Amino acid sequence: MALLHSFFLSAGECVSGSMVLAVAMSIASYFLIPMVFGGRHKNWKNAPPGPVGWPILGSLPHLSNRLHEDFFHMAKIYGPLFSLNLGIKPAIVVSSPEMAAQVLKEREGMFSSRTITETIRVISYDAHSIIFSPYGPRWKVLRRILITELLSPKAFEQFEPLRTSQVHGLLKYLYLVSKSNTQVNIAEYAFTALANLVSNFVCSKDLFDNSMPEGRKMKERFWELIKVIGTPNFSDLIPIVKPFDPQGLKRKINKIFGQLDAFYEKLIEERLAEKGKAQLDGTIPYKRKMDMLDVLLSYESNDKENGLDRLPKSIVKGMLSEMFIAGTETTSSTVEWGMAEILRKPSVLKKLLLELDQVVGKDRFVVESDIPKLAYLQAVVKEVFRLHPGVPLIIPRRTNEACEVAGYHIPKHCIVYVNVWGMARDPNVWEDPLEFKPERFIGSSVDVKGQDFNLLPFGTGRRSCVGWPLAHRMVHYYLAALLHAFQWESPPDVLNDLGERVGLTIQKGKSLLSTPKPRLPASVYER
Protein backbone atom coordinates (compact mmCIF):
# COMPACT_ATOMS: atom_id res chain seq x y z
CA MET A 1 0.00 0.00 0.00
CA ALA A 2 2.93 2.31 0.66
CA LEU A 3 3.58 2.50 -3.06
CA LEU A 4 0.09 3.87 -3.73
CA HIS A 5 0.30 6.05 -0.65
CA SER A 6 3.57 7.61 -1.79
CA PHE A 7 2.04 8.05 -5.23
CA PHE A 8 -0.87 10.07 -3.91
CA LEU A 9 1.45 12.04 -1.63
CA SER A 10 3.76 12.94 -4.47
CA ALA A 11 0.81 13.58 -6.74
CA GLY A 12 -0.55 16.00 -4.19
CA GLU A 13 2.78 17.81 -4.12
CA CYS A 14 3.04 18.13 -7.85
CA VAL A 15 -0.35 18.71 -9.37
CA SER A 16 -3.44 20.62 -8.58
CA GLY A 17 -6.33 19.04 -6.65
CA SER A 18 -8.54 19.01 -9.74
CA MET A 19 -6.01 17.07 -11.70
CA VAL A 20 -5.70 14.48 -8.93
CA LEU A 21 -9.49 14.23 -8.95
CA ALA A 22 -9.54 13.78 -12.73
CA VAL A 23 -6.95 11.03 -12.50
CA ALA A 24 -8.81 9.31 -9.66
CA MET A 25 -12.06 9.45 -11.65
CA SER A 26 -10.37 8.05 -14.73
CA ILE A 27 -9.01 5.19 -12.67
CA ALA A 28 -12.40 4.62 -11.05
CA SER A 29 -14.20 4.52 -14.39
CA TYR A 30 -11.60 2.14 -15.72
CA PHE A 31 -12.37 -0.25 -12.90
CA LEU A 32 -15.61 -1.14 -14.61
CA ILE A 33 -13.99 -2.59 -17.69
CA PRO A 34 -11.86 -5.27 -16.02
CA MET A 35 -14.63 -5.99 -13.55
CA VAL A 36 -16.70 -7.00 -16.54
CA PHE A 37 -13.90 -8.76 -18.38
CA GLY A 38 -12.13 -10.33 -15.41
CA GLY A 39 -8.69 -10.10 -13.79
CA ARG A 40 -5.24 -11.40 -14.53
CA HIS A 41 -6.01 -15.09 -14.47
CA LYS A 42 -8.60 -14.74 -17.20
CA ASN A 43 -6.41 -12.90 -19.67
CA TRP A 44 -3.12 -14.61 -18.83
CA LYS A 45 -3.72 -18.32 -19.31
CA ASN A 46 -1.32 -20.76 -17.70
CA ALA A 47 0.46 -17.98 -15.80
CA PRO A 48 2.98 -18.93 -13.10
CA PRO A 49 1.34 -18.88 -9.65
CA GLY A 50 0.86 -15.47 -8.08
CA PRO A 51 -1.61 -13.08 -6.48
CA VAL A 52 -4.77 -12.39 -8.46
CA GLY A 53 -4.53 -8.63 -8.02
CA TRP A 54 -7.02 -5.81 -8.43
CA PRO A 55 -8.54 -4.67 -11.67
CA ILE A 56 -6.34 -2.04 -13.33
CA LEU A 57 -4.04 -1.71 -10.33
CA GLY A 58 -3.02 -5.36 -10.29
CA SER A 59 -0.88 -5.99 -7.22
CA LEU A 60 0.14 -2.36 -6.73
CA PRO A 61 -2.02 -1.89 -3.60
CA HIS A 62 -0.03 -4.66 -1.92
CA LEU A 63 3.43 -3.40 -2.79
CA SER A 64 5.70 -0.88 -1.15
CA ASN A 65 8.53 1.03 -2.84
CA ARG A 66 10.82 -1.79 -1.63
CA LEU A 67 9.91 -4.20 -4.37
CA HIS A 68 12.90 -6.46 -3.68
CA GLU A 69 11.65 -7.04 -0.11
CA ASP A 70 8.02 -7.51 -1.14
CA PHE A 71 9.03 -9.98 -3.83
CA PHE A 72 11.23 -11.86 -1.35
CA HIS A 73 8.23 -12.39 0.94
CA MET A 74 5.90 -13.24 -1.95
CA ALA A 75 8.33 -15.89 -3.23
CA LYS A 76 7.85 -17.73 0.07
CA ILE A 77 4.15 -18.03 -0.78
CA TYR A 78 4.17 -18.42 -4.57
CA GLY A 79 7.53 -20.06 -5.23
CA PRO A 80 10.69 -19.30 -7.23
CA LEU A 81 8.80 -18.21 -10.35
CA PHE A 82 5.68 -16.18 -9.73
CA SER A 83 3.62 -13.77 -11.74
CA LEU A 84 1.70 -10.62 -10.96
CA ASN A 85 0.26 -7.60 -12.65
CA LEU A 86 1.85 -4.23 -11.98
CA GLY A 87 -0.92 -1.91 -12.99
CA ILE A 88 -1.95 -3.45 -16.26
CA LYS A 89 1.56 -4.74 -17.07
CA PRO A 90 2.31 -8.43 -16.69
CA ALA A 91 5.43 -9.25 -14.70
CA ILE A 92 7.28 -12.30 -13.46
CA VAL A 93 9.68 -12.59 -10.55
CA VAL A 94 12.51 -15.10 -10.49
CA SER A 95 13.79 -15.96 -7.03
CA SER A 96 16.01 -19.04 -7.15
CA PRO A 97 19.36 -19.75 -8.82
CA GLU A 98 17.83 -22.66 -10.75
CA MET A 99 15.03 -20.52 -12.14
CA ALA A 100 17.50 -17.68 -12.88
CA ALA A 101 19.56 -20.14 -14.95
CA GLN A 102 16.45 -21.23 -16.86
CA VAL A 103 15.49 -17.67 -17.70
CA LEU A 104 18.83 -15.93 -18.13
CA LYS A 105 20.85 -18.78 -19.61
CA GLU A 106 18.68 -21.45 -21.19
CA ARG A 107 16.18 -18.97 -22.69
CA GLU A 108 18.56 -16.05 -22.86
CA GLY A 109 17.42 -14.99 -26.33
CA MET A 110 13.83 -14.48 -25.13
CA PHE A 111 14.78 -12.44 -22.06
CA SER A 112 17.39 -10.06 -23.42
CA SER A 113 15.53 -6.76 -23.79
CA ARG A 114 14.87 -4.18 -21.09
CA THR A 115 11.82 -2.67 -19.49
CA ILE A 116 11.71 1.04 -20.29
CA THR A 117 10.12 3.58 -17.97
CA GLU A 118 9.02 7.13 -18.79
CA THR A 119 12.01 8.71 -17.06
CA ILE A 120 14.45 6.19 -18.49
CA ARG A 121 13.15 7.03 -21.97
CA VAL A 122 14.31 10.62 -21.41
CA ILE A 123 17.77 9.91 -20.04
CA SER A 124 18.49 7.20 -22.62
CA TYR A 125 17.39 9.34 -25.58
CA ASP A 126 14.41 7.11 -26.29
CA ALA A 127 16.21 3.89 -25.37
CA HIS A 128 18.80 4.43 -28.12
CA SER A 129 21.84 3.88 -25.94
CA ILE A 130 23.38 0.69 -24.58
CA ILE A 131 21.60 -0.13 -21.32
CA PHE A 132 18.05 0.25 -22.54
CA SER A 133 18.35 -0.53 -26.25
CA PRO A 134 16.22 -3.51 -27.17
CA TYR A 135 18.33 -6.53 -28.00
CA GLY A 136 19.32 -6.02 -31.66
CA PRO A 137 21.96 -4.64 -34.06
CA ARG A 138 22.30 -1.20 -32.42
CA TRP A 139 22.84 -2.68 -28.99
CA LYS A 140 25.41 -5.11 -30.43
CA VAL A 141 27.45 -2.28 -31.98
CA LEU A 142 27.46 -0.24 -28.78
CA ARG A 143 28.36 -3.20 -26.59
CA ARG A 144 31.15 -4.22 -28.97
CA ILE A 145 32.61 -0.70 -28.93
CA LEU A 146 32.70 -0.65 -25.13
CA ILE A 147 34.15 -4.12 -24.79
CA THR A 148 36.77 -3.96 -27.51
CA GLU A 149 37.84 -0.31 -27.36
CA LEU A 150 37.32 0.90 -23.84
CA LEU A 151 36.99 -1.98 -21.44
CA SER A 152 39.30 -4.47 -23.16
CA PRO A 153 42.04 -5.81 -20.88
CA LYS A 154 44.57 -3.63 -22.76
CA ALA A 155 42.53 -0.41 -22.45
CA PHE A 156 41.76 -1.29 -18.86
CA GLU A 157 45.47 -1.49 -18.01
CA GLN A 158 46.13 1.79 -19.82
CA PHE A 159 43.76 3.54 -17.42
CA GLU A 160 45.55 2.15 -14.35
CA PRO A 161 47.55 5.33 -13.58
CA LEU A 162 44.32 7.31 -13.67
CA ARG A 163 42.63 4.99 -11.17
CA THR A 164 45.68 5.10 -8.92
CA SER A 165 45.82 8.87 -8.96
CA GLN A 166 42.10 9.08 -8.09
CA VAL A 167 42.43 6.67 -5.16
CA HIS A 168 45.69 8.08 -3.82
CA GLY A 169 44.38 11.61 -4.30
CA LEU A 170 41.40 10.71 -2.11
CA LEU A 171 43.69 9.25 0.59
CA LYS A 172 45.79 12.41 0.64
CA TYR A 173 42.69 14.56 0.86
CA LEU A 174 41.32 12.46 3.73
CA TYR A 175 44.65 12.87 5.50
CA LEU A 176 44.15 16.64 5.45
CA VAL A 177 40.59 16.18 6.72
CA SER A 178 41.83 13.89 9.49
CA LYS A 179 43.86 16.74 10.96
CA SER A 180 40.66 18.50 11.93
CA ASN A 181 39.19 15.32 13.43
CA THR A 182 36.11 15.68 11.23
CA GLN A 183 33.56 13.03 10.26
CA VAL A 184 33.31 12.25 6.57
CA ASN A 185 30.49 10.74 4.56
CA ILE A 186 32.27 7.80 2.97
CA ALA A 187 29.73 7.21 0.18
CA GLU A 188 29.84 10.85 -0.86
CA TYR A 189 33.63 10.91 -1.10
CA ALA A 190 33.63 7.61 -2.98
CA PHE A 191 30.90 8.92 -5.31
CA THR A 192 32.89 12.03 -6.23
CA ALA A 193 36.09 10.08 -6.81
CA LEU A 194 34.27 7.48 -8.93
CA ALA A 195 32.33 10.07 -10.87
CA ASN A 196 35.61 11.75 -11.78
CA LEU A 197 37.09 8.42 -12.74
CA VAL A 198 34.15 7.70 -15.04
CA SER A 199 34.24 11.24 -16.44
CA ASN A 200 37.93 10.81 -17.30
CA PHE A 201 37.19 7.50 -18.97
CA VAL A 202 34.36 9.18 -20.88
CA CYS A 203 35.78 12.60 -21.77
CA SER A 204 39.20 13.00 -20.08
CA LYS A 205 37.96 15.61 -17.57
CA ASP A 206 37.29 15.84 -13.82
CA LEU A 207 33.68 16.97 -14.26
CA PHE A 208 32.81 16.46 -10.61
CA ASP A 209 35.59 18.57 -9.10
CA ASN A 210 34.31 19.37 -5.61
CA SER A 211 36.47 22.45 -5.31
CA MET A 212 34.75 24.14 -8.29
CA PRO A 213 31.15 25.45 -8.26
CA GLU A 214 30.53 23.83 -11.66
CA GLY A 215 31.70 20.46 -10.32
CA ARG A 216 29.46 20.73 -7.26
CA LYS A 217 26.51 21.71 -9.44
CA MET A 218 27.12 18.72 -11.69
CA LYS A 219 27.08 16.43 -8.67
CA GLU A 220 23.86 17.96 -7.35
CA ARG A 221 22.19 17.52 -10.76
CA PHE A 222 23.19 13.89 -10.82
CA TRP A 223 21.93 13.18 -7.32
CA GLU A 224 18.62 14.77 -8.28
CA LEU A 225 18.47 12.83 -11.51
CA ILE A 226 19.22 9.54 -9.76
CA LYS A 227 16.48 10.27 -7.21
CA VAL A 228 13.85 10.89 -9.89
CA ILE A 229 14.82 7.80 -11.91
CA GLY A 230 14.63 5.69 -8.76
CA THR A 231 11.06 6.80 -7.92
CA PRO A 232 8.36 4.32 -9.03
CA ASN A 233 6.20 6.03 -11.63
CA PHE A 234 2.56 5.09 -11.95
CA SER A 235 2.44 6.38 -15.51
CA ASP A 236 4.57 3.37 -16.47
CA LEU A 237 2.13 0.88 -15.04
CA ILE A 238 -1.24 2.51 -15.66
CA PRO A 239 -0.90 4.14 -19.09
CA ILE A 240 -4.23 5.96 -18.75
CA VAL A 241 -2.66 8.36 -16.22
CA LYS A 242 0.40 9.00 -18.41
CA PRO A 243 -0.82 12.25 -20.03
CA PHE A 244 -1.40 13.75 -16.56
CA ASP A 245 2.10 12.90 -15.29
CA PRO A 246 0.47 12.82 -11.84
CA GLN A 247 3.69 12.58 -9.83
CA GLY A 248 5.31 15.26 -11.97
CA LEU A 249 8.27 12.97 -12.59
CA LYS A 250 8.38 13.53 -16.32
CA ARG A 251 8.35 17.30 -15.81
CA LYS A 252 11.11 17.02 -13.22
CA ILE A 253 13.30 14.78 -15.33
CA ASN A 254 12.83 16.99 -18.39
CA LYS A 255 13.95 19.99 -16.37
CA ILE A 256 17.05 18.39 -14.86
CA PHE A 257 17.93 16.44 -17.93
CA GLY A 258 17.52 19.50 -20.15
CA GLN A 259 20.52 21.02 -18.38
CA LEU A 260 22.55 17.84 -18.68
CA ASP A 261 21.65 17.49 -22.34
CA ALA A 262 22.94 21.01 -23.01
CA PHE A 263 26.11 20.08 -21.18
CA TYR A 264 26.63 16.89 -23.25
CA GLU A 265 25.94 18.88 -26.39
CA LYS A 266 28.68 21.35 -25.42
CA LEU A 267 31.15 18.57 -24.66
CA ILE A 268 30.56 17.05 -28.08
CA GLU A 269 30.81 20.37 -29.91
CA GLU A 270 34.09 21.19 -28.15
CA ARG A 271 35.53 17.83 -29.03
CA LEU A 272 34.48 18.10 -32.67
CA ALA A 273 36.02 21.57 -32.83
CA GLU A 274 39.26 20.24 -31.32
CA LYS A 275 39.31 17.46 -33.90
CA GLY A 276 38.51 19.85 -36.75
CA LYS A 277 41.24 22.27 -35.73
CA ALA A 278 43.80 19.48 -35.52
CA GLN A 279 42.86 18.36 -39.04
CA LEU A 280 43.29 21.91 -40.36
CA ASP A 281 46.63 22.37 -38.62
CA GLY A 282 47.77 18.93 -39.70
CA THR A 283 48.60 18.09 -36.08
CA ILE A 284 47.87 14.84 -34.22
CA PRO A 285 44.51 15.44 -32.53
CA TYR A 286 45.12 13.71 -29.24
CA LYS A 287 48.19 13.68 -27.06
CA ARG A 288 46.15 11.91 -24.42
CA LYS A 289 44.67 8.40 -24.58
CA MET A 290 41.51 7.92 -26.64
CA ASP A 291 38.48 8.29 -24.39
CA MET A 292 34.89 7.18 -24.98
CA LEU A 293 33.95 10.40 -26.69
CA ASP A 294 36.81 10.04 -29.21
CA VAL A 295 35.89 6.45 -29.90
CA LEU A 296 32.18 7.15 -30.41
CA LEU A 297 32.72 10.25 -32.54
CA SER A 298 35.20 8.52 -34.82
CA TYR A 299 33.06 5.40 -35.27
CA GLU A 300 32.51 4.51 -38.92
CA SER A 301 31.16 1.31 -40.38
CA ASN A 302 30.06 0.05 -43.75
CA ASP A 303 28.40 -2.99 -42.25
CA LYS A 304 24.94 -2.72 -43.79
CA GLU A 305 23.40 -5.05 -41.24
CA ASN A 306 23.70 -2.81 -38.25
CA GLY A 307 22.41 0.20 -40.18
CA LEU A 308 24.77 2.55 -38.36
CA ASP A 309 27.46 3.98 -40.61
CA ARG A 310 28.11 6.65 -37.95
CA LEU A 311 26.72 7.17 -34.49
CA PRO A 312 24.12 9.95 -34.36
CA LYS A 313 24.58 12.58 -31.68
CA SER A 314 21.61 11.26 -29.70
CA ILE A 315 23.39 7.92 -29.23
CA VAL A 316 26.66 9.59 -28.23
CA LYS A 317 24.81 11.70 -25.67
CA GLY A 318 22.90 8.64 -24.46
CA MET A 319 26.16 6.79 -23.91
CA LEU A 320 27.58 9.71 -21.88
CA SER A 321 24.43 9.84 -19.83
CA GLU A 322 24.27 6.12 -19.15
CA MET A 323 27.91 5.75 -18.19
CA PHE A 324 27.50 8.31 -15.39
CA ILE A 325 24.28 6.74 -14.20
CA ALA A 326 25.47 3.12 -14.36
CA GLY A 327 29.00 3.67 -13.18
CA THR A 328 28.89 5.97 -10.17
CA GLU A 329 26.32 5.39 -7.44
CA THR A 330 26.32 1.60 -8.00
CA THR A 331 29.98 1.41 -7.09
CA SER A 332 30.08 4.08 -4.36
CA SER A 333 27.14 2.55 -2.47
CA THR A 334 28.85 -0.86 -2.62
CA VAL A 335 31.95 0.71 -1.07
CA GLU A 336 29.80 2.25 1.67
CA TRP A 337 28.10 -1.09 2.45
CA GLY A 338 31.48 -2.79 2.47
CA MET A 339 32.95 -0.28 4.92
CA ALA A 340 29.91 -0.58 7.20
CA GLU A 341 29.94 -4.39 7.25
CA ILE A 342 33.69 -4.58 7.84
CA LEU A 343 33.81 -1.90 10.54
CA ARG A 344 31.01 -3.49 12.52
CA LYS A 345 32.71 -6.89 12.50
CA PRO A 346 36.00 -6.54 14.44
CA SER A 347 37.10 -10.11 13.59
CA VAL A 348 36.79 -9.38 9.85
CA LEU A 349 38.54 -6.02 10.18
CA LYS A 350 41.40 -7.60 12.15
CA LYS A 351 42.02 -10.31 9.54
CA LEU A 352 41.83 -7.82 6.73
CA LEU A 353 44.31 -5.43 8.34
CA LEU A 354 46.68 -8.28 9.10
CA GLU A 355 46.62 -9.30 5.45
CA LEU A 356 47.02 -5.71 4.23
CA ASP A 357 49.96 -5.05 6.53
CA GLN A 358 51.65 -8.27 5.49
CA VAL A 359 51.21 -7.72 1.76
CA VAL A 360 51.48 -3.93 1.50
CA GLY A 361 53.45 -2.99 4.61
CA LYS A 362 53.15 0.42 6.18
CA ASP A 363 55.44 2.56 4.10
CA ARG A 364 53.25 3.04 1.03
CA PHE A 365 49.62 3.12 -0.12
CA VAL A 366 47.90 0.07 -1.61
CA VAL A 367 48.36 -0.23 -5.38
CA GLU A 368 46.25 -2.25 -7.80
CA SER A 369 48.86 -4.96 -8.25
CA ASP A 370 48.47 -5.82 -4.54
CA ILE A 371 44.85 -6.91 -5.03
CA PRO A 372 45.49 -10.41 -6.47
CA LYS A 373 47.64 -11.14 -3.40
CA LEU A 374 44.86 -10.16 -0.97
CA ALA A 375 42.86 -13.40 -0.75
CA TYR A 376 40.84 -12.44 2.31
CA LEU A 377 39.93 -9.06 0.79
CA GLN A 378 38.59 -10.90 -2.25
CA ALA A 379 36.37 -13.07 -0.04
CA VAL A 380 35.18 -9.95 1.81
CA VAL A 381 34.24 -8.23 -1.44
CA LYS A 382 32.27 -11.27 -2.65
CA GLU A 383 30.38 -11.24 0.62
CA VAL A 384 29.62 -7.52 0.21
CA PHE A 385 28.30 -8.13 -3.31
CA ARG A 386 26.25 -11.09 -2.02
CA LEU A 387 24.47 -9.25 0.79
CA HIS A 388 24.30 -5.83 -0.84
CA PRO A 389 23.88 -6.18 -4.59
CA GLY A 390 23.67 -2.55 -5.76
CA VAL A 391 20.91 -3.38 -8.23
CA PRO A 392 18.76 -5.82 -6.23
CA LEU A 393 16.44 -6.85 -9.07
CA ILE A 394 19.14 -6.49 -11.74
CA ILE A 395 18.02 -3.97 -14.35
CA PRO A 396 14.57 -5.33 -15.19
CA ARG A 397 14.56 -7.33 -18.39
CA ARG A 398 11.65 -7.72 -20.79
CA THR A 399 10.61 -10.66 -22.93
CA ASN A 400 11.18 -10.20 -26.67
CA GLU A 401 8.61 -12.88 -27.48
CA ALA A 402 6.05 -15.01 -25.69
CA CYS A 403 7.65 -18.19 -24.37
CA GLU A 404 7.38 -20.98 -21.84
CA VAL A 405 9.32 -21.36 -18.61
CA ALA A 406 8.93 -24.36 -16.30
CA GLY A 407 5.73 -25.25 -18.17
CA TYR A 408 4.17 -21.79 -17.68
CA HIS A 409 3.27 -19.26 -20.34
CA ILE A 410 5.20 -15.96 -20.24
CA PRO A 411 3.68 -13.29 -22.51
CA LYS A 412 5.53 -11.01 -24.93
CA HIS A 413 6.79 -7.74 -23.37
CA CYS A 414 6.46 -9.13 -19.85
CA ILE A 415 8.53 -7.32 -17.17
CA VAL A 416 11.13 -9.71 -15.74
CA TYR A 417 12.61 -9.23 -12.28
CA VAL A 418 15.41 -11.42 -10.99
CA ASN A 419 15.62 -10.97 -7.23
CA VAL A 420 19.34 -11.35 -6.52
CA TRP A 421 18.84 -9.54 -3.20
CA GLY A 422 16.24 -12.13 -2.19
CA MET A 423 18.43 -15.07 -3.19
CA ALA A 424 21.17 -13.75 -0.90
CA ARG A 425 18.74 -13.98 2.02
CA ASP A 426 17.31 -17.38 1.20
CA PRO A 427 18.43 -20.18 3.58
CA ASN A 428 17.87 -22.67 0.75
CA VAL A 429 20.62 -20.90 -1.18
CA TRP A 430 23.07 -19.81 1.56
CA GLU A 431 23.82 -21.11 5.02
CA ASP A 432 23.29 -18.38 7.66
CA PRO A 433 22.25 -16.06 4.86
CA LEU A 434 22.02 -12.90 6.96
CA GLU A 435 25.48 -13.30 8.50
CA PHE A 436 28.30 -11.27 6.99
CA LYS A 437 30.73 -14.17 6.72
CA PRO A 438 33.51 -13.78 4.13
CA GLU A 439 34.89 -17.17 5.21
CA ARG A 440 32.13 -18.84 3.19
CA PHE A 441 34.09 -17.90 0.07
CA ILE A 442 37.50 -19.09 1.22
CA GLY A 443 38.40 -22.13 -0.87
CA SER A 444 35.19 -21.71 -2.91
CA SER A 445 35.22 -21.12 -6.64
CA VAL A 446 31.91 -19.20 -6.57
CA ASP A 447 32.42 -15.79 -8.13
CA VAL A 448 30.48 -12.70 -9.18
CA LYS A 449 31.25 -12.97 -12.89
CA GLY A 450 27.87 -14.33 -13.97
CA GLN A 451 28.63 -18.06 -14.05
CA ASP A 452 27.24 -18.81 -10.58
CA PHE A 453 23.52 -18.19 -10.48
CA ASN A 454 23.41 -17.85 -6.69
CA LEU A 455 25.63 -14.73 -6.93
CA LEU A 456 24.65 -12.36 -9.73
CA PRO A 457 25.33 -8.75 -8.64
CA PHE A 458 26.36 -7.91 -12.21
CA GLY A 459 23.69 -10.03 -13.90
CA THR A 460 24.73 -12.59 -16.47
CA GLY A 461 24.94 -13.38 -20.16
CA ARG A 462 24.78 -11.01 -23.09
CA ARG A 463 23.15 -8.18 -21.09
CA SER A 464 25.39 -8.54 -18.06
CA CYS A 465 27.14 -5.47 -16.68
CA VAL A 466 29.69 -4.30 -19.20
CA GLY A 467 31.43 -2.17 -16.57
CA TRP A 468 31.93 -5.00 -14.12
CA PRO A 469 35.74 -5.22 -14.47
CA LEU A 470 35.99 -1.55 -13.53
CA ALA A 471 33.46 -1.76 -10.68
CA HIS A 472 34.96 -4.98 -9.35
CA ARG A 473 38.46 -3.54 -9.36
CA MET A 474 37.39 -0.24 -7.80
CA VAL A 475 35.43 -1.81 -4.94
CA HIS A 476 38.50 -3.90 -4.02
CA TYR A 477 40.79 -0.93 -4.43
CA TYR A 478 38.76 1.56 -2.40
CA LEU A 479 38.08 -0.82 0.46
CA ALA A 480 41.71 -1.94 0.68
CA ALA A 481 43.09 1.61 0.37
CA LEU A 482 40.67 3.24 2.85
CA LEU A 483 41.13 0.56 5.51
CA HIS A 484 44.89 0.30 5.10
CA ALA A 485 45.51 4.05 5.27
CA PHE A 486 43.09 4.96 8.09
CA GLN A 487 41.54 3.73 11.25
CA TRP A 488 37.84 4.63 11.12
CA GLU A 489 35.62 5.63 14.01
CA SER A 490 31.85 5.71 13.47
CA PRO A 491 29.00 6.36 15.89
CA PRO A 492 27.65 2.87 16.77
CA ASP A 493 24.05 3.82 15.90
CA VAL A 494 25.14 4.82 12.39
CA LEU A 495 27.33 1.78 11.95
CA ASN A 496 24.89 -0.79 13.19
CA ASP A 497 21.82 0.52 11.42
CA LEU A 498 21.72 -1.53 8.24
CA GLY A 499 18.38 -0.12 7.07
CA GLU A 500 18.19 0.53 3.35
CA ARG A 501 17.32 3.59 1.31
CA VAL A 502 15.80 2.66 -2.02
CA GLY A 503 16.59 4.72 -5.07
CA LEU A 504 18.22 3.80 -8.31
CA THR A 505 20.40 1.51 -6.19
CA ILE A 506 20.05 0.27 -2.64
CA GLN A 507 21.99 2.53 -0.33
CA LYS A 508 22.64 2.44 3.35
CA GLY A 509 19.73 4.26 5.00
CA LYS A 510 21.86 6.11 7.53
CA SER A 511 24.87 7.41 5.63
CA LEU A 512 28.10 6.04 7.02
CA LEU A 513 29.75 8.96 8.78
CA SER A 514 33.20 8.13 10.05
CA THR A 515 36.28 9.89 11.36
CA PRO A 516 39.54 8.86 9.70
CA LYS A 517 42.76 8.55 11.78
CA PRO A 518 45.98 7.93 9.86
CA ARG A 519 47.54 4.46 10.24
CA LEU A 520 50.65 5.14 8.18
CA PRO A 521 53.65 7.45 8.71
CA ALA A 522 52.96 11.09 7.70
CA SER A 523 55.58 10.84 4.94
CA VAL A 524 53.38 8.37 3.01
CA TYR A 525 50.49 10.87 2.77
CA GLU A 526 52.74 13.86 2.14
CA ARG A 527 54.77 12.26 -0.63
Annotated binding residues for heme, as ranges? Answer: 465
Nearest distance in Å: CB 197, ligand HEM: 9
Say whether 35 sits in a helix, a strand or coil.
Answer: helix
Q: How far is the CB of 159 from ligand HEM (least distance, A)?
A: 11
How far is residue 81 from each of residues 74, 349, 435, measured CA to CA in Å? 10, 38, 26
Taking the least distance from each CB to ligand HEM, the nearer of 248 and 396 is 396
- 364-370-375-379 Cα dihedral, nearest 10 degrees: 90
Q: What is the DSSP string of 287-324?
A: SS---HHHHHHT-----GGG--SS--HHHHHHHHHHHH
Q: Shortest approach of ligand HEM to residue 325 CB, angstroms? A: 9
For 94, phi then psi, to 5°, come to -105, 130
Residue type, position 320, single letter: L
* Least spacing, CB of residue 327 vs ligand HEM, in Å: 3
- Give all strands (DSSP E) within 26-176, no chain letters: 81-86, 89-94, 113-114
The DSSP bridge partners found for residue 514 are 184
The least distance separating ligand HEM from the CB of residue 466, rounded to whole angstroms, comes to 4
Alpha carbon distance, N-terminus to C-terminus of the chain = 56
Nearest to ligand HEM of 11, 293 (CB atom): 293
* CB closer to ligand HEM, 23 vs 131: 131
Cβ-based nearer residue to ligand HEM, 131 or 495: 131
Round to whole Å and give the CA distance between 417 and 395: 8
- Tell me whether residue 134 or residue 276 sits nearer to ligand HEM (CB atom): 134
Binding site for ligand HEM (CB under 6 A): 130-131, 143, 198, 322-323, 326-327, 330-331, 334, 390-391, 394-395, 397, 457-460, 463-467, 470-471
Gap between the Cα atoms of 497 and 412, Å rounded: 41
CB of 262 to ligand HEM, least distance (A): 23
Q: Which residue lies nearer to ligand HEM by CB, 246 or 327? A: 327
Closest CB to ligand HEM among 90 and 459? 459
| Binding site listing | 465
Comparing CA positions, the residue from 199, 420, 226, 249 lying closest to residue 330 is: 226
Residue 164: partners with Cβ closer than 8 Å, 6 or more residues away: 367, 368
Q: Where does residue 463 fall: left (phi above 0), alpha (psi -120 to 50 degrees), or beta otherwise? A: alpha
Rounded least distance, CB 397 to ligand HEM, Å: 6
